[in-house]
Amino acid sequence: MNVIDLRSDTVTKPTAVMLKAMSSAEVGDDVYGEDPTVRNLEAMAAQIMGKQAGLLVTSGTMGNLVAALTHTNKGNEVLLEADSHIYYYEVGGLAAVGGLMPRPIQGDKGSISVRVLRDALRPANIHFPRPSLLCLENTHNRAGGTVMPPQAVAEVASYAREQGLKVHLDGARIFNAAIALGVEAPELADKCDSVMFCLSKGLGAPVGSLLVGDSDFIAQARKWRKMLGGGMRQAGVIAAAGLIALEQMRERLAEDHDHAKLLAAGLAAIPKLTLDLANVQTNIVVVKLDPSLSTPAILAELAQNGVLASDFGPDLLRFVTHKDVSRQDIEDALAIIARVSR
C-alpha cells in the first residue's frame, strides 16, 4: 500500500544529492572547530539570515533551548505565545533545564502584538521575576502554519528590545514564511537577536538545525551546546546535507504551499470537517472534526487506508505537505479522507 504521510514535514527523506554529498563530505573534529563542512554550513546560515555567526545544533528543540539559556539568567521570565512550540512541545525545557519562568501570552493566529506584549510586561517590582526574553514563532505551527509579516515582527521585537528584552525567533519554518510573504529571510530576522531554523523539515535534510545571531552570542551558545551534550565530532556528514538543503530546497517550498491549499479546499468541502481557508498560508492544514467523529478513531481508520495525519487536540487533525507527497498523493488522500469521515 502506498502510504501518504502527512503527519509532518519532519518525515522527509534526504535527496540523492544529499546522500552523495554526505558520503564524500570533508570532515574533522568539530569540537576542535576543525570540520570544514560544518564551518561552511554555519557561515552560510548566518549569511542567509543576515547575522554574524551560526551554530549547528542537533534539533530545533536544542536550538531554542540553547538560545534561551544564552539570553537569560536563572529565575528570569520568558514571554512567549501560549500555543508556541517552545511552550507546548519542548518538554518544559525552559523550566527544567534553564530554571526559567515561562509566561505564556495570547497571540492572534500566532502573532504577538505590541499591545498584548505591553499589557503582559509588568513594571519592575520586588515580587516579579525579571523579564528578559521574548520568543516569537514564524511560521506558527499550532496556529496552522500562519505567517507573521516583517513589519509585525519588527514592531513587536523593537518594542521588546526598548524594554530591555532580548528577542529569539523560533523560525523552524522561516523559509516557508519568507516564500509565502514574498520576502527574504533577513527581513523576518532583522530585529531579532537570534533565530533558530530547521534543515530537517521542509528542506529535507535528515538531521540538524541552525542557531544564528551575533558573534558573541554564538560563542556563548557554543558553550551551552557543549554542556547539553551537543558537541558533535565529524558532523560534516550531517552538514553536507544541510548545505544542499539551503542551496537547493528553499525555492521548492512554494509547491508544498500549493499542495496545502489544494488539500484545504478539498477538506473544506467535506461536510464533517471545518477549517478556515484564510489560515492556510503555508504547508500546514488544521481541521476541526464534527463532534460525531473521534480523533483517535479517524486517525486509525485513515492509517488503515494509507493516510497518516497528526492528532492536534481533542477535535483537531493536522496535515502537513512536504516534498515527499505529490499532487496526485493529495488528490488520493482527499478521496480517502472524504470516505473515512462520512
The closest alpha carbon to 102, from 80, 129, 118, belongs to 80
Whether residue 327 contacts residue 262, with contact meaning beta carbons closer than 8 Å, is answered with: yes
Cell of 130: 525579571
The site that binds ligand TLP (CB under 6 A) totals a number of residues, namely: 14
For 103, the enclosing helix (H) or strand (E) is strand 101-105
Q: What string marks each residue from 203 to 242 as x (binds ligand TLP by CB under 6 A) or -?
A: ------x---------------------------------
Q: Which is nearer to ligand TLP, 10 or 113 (CB)?
A: 10
Taking the complex as a whole, how short is the minimal distance between the CB of residue 137 and ligand TLP, in angstroms?
5
Grid cell 500566532 in the structure block, residue: 110
Q: Which is nearer to ligand TLP, 85 or 103 (CB)?
A: 85
Q: Using CB atoms, what's the residue nearest to ligand TLP?
A: 60
Q: Counting contacts by CB under 6 A, is residue 60 touching ligand TLP?
A: yes
Taking the complex as a whole, how short is the minimal distance between the CB of residue 152 and ligand TLP, in angstroms?
17
Whether residue 208 contacts residue 200, with contact meaning beta carbons closer than 8 Å, is answered with: yes
Site for ligand TLP in 64-93 (CB under 6 A): 85, 89
- Taking the alpha carbons at both ends of the chain, their separation in whole angstroms is 22
Amino acid at 185: A
Q: Counting contacts by CB under 6 A, is residue 146 touching ligand TLP?
A: no
Amino acid at 72: T
Taking the complex as a whole, how short is the minimal distance between the CB of residue 170 and ligand TLP, in angstroms?
5
Q: What string marks each residue from 298 to 337 as x (binds ligand TLP by CB under 6 A) or -?
A: ----------------------------------------
Interface region with ligand TLP, contact rule CB under 6 A, candidates 59-67, 119-127, 149-157, 255-263: 59-67
Taking the complex as a whole, how short is the minimal distance between the CB of residue 200 and ligand TLP, in angstroms?
6
Q: Counting contacts by CB under 6 A, is residue 132 touching ligand TLP?
A: no
How many Cα atoms occupy the beta-carbon half-sphere of 226 within 13 Å?
A: 11
Grid cell 487506508 in the structure block, residue: 305
- Measured distance CA(220)–CA(147) in Å, rounded: 30
- Measured distance CA(122)–CA(130) in Å, rounded: 9
Q: Counting contacts by CB under 6 A, is residue 172 touching ligand TLP?
A: yes
Taking the complex as a whole, how short is the minimal distance between the CB of residue 107 and ligand TLP, in angstroms?
13
For 134, the enclosing helix (H) or strand (E) is strand 131-137
Sheet of strand 284-289, all strands in order from the earlier edge strand to the far edge: 273-274, 284-289, 316-320, 310-313
Residues that bind ligand TLP (CB under 6 A): 8, 10, 59-61, 85, 89, 137, 141, 170, 172, 198, 200, 209
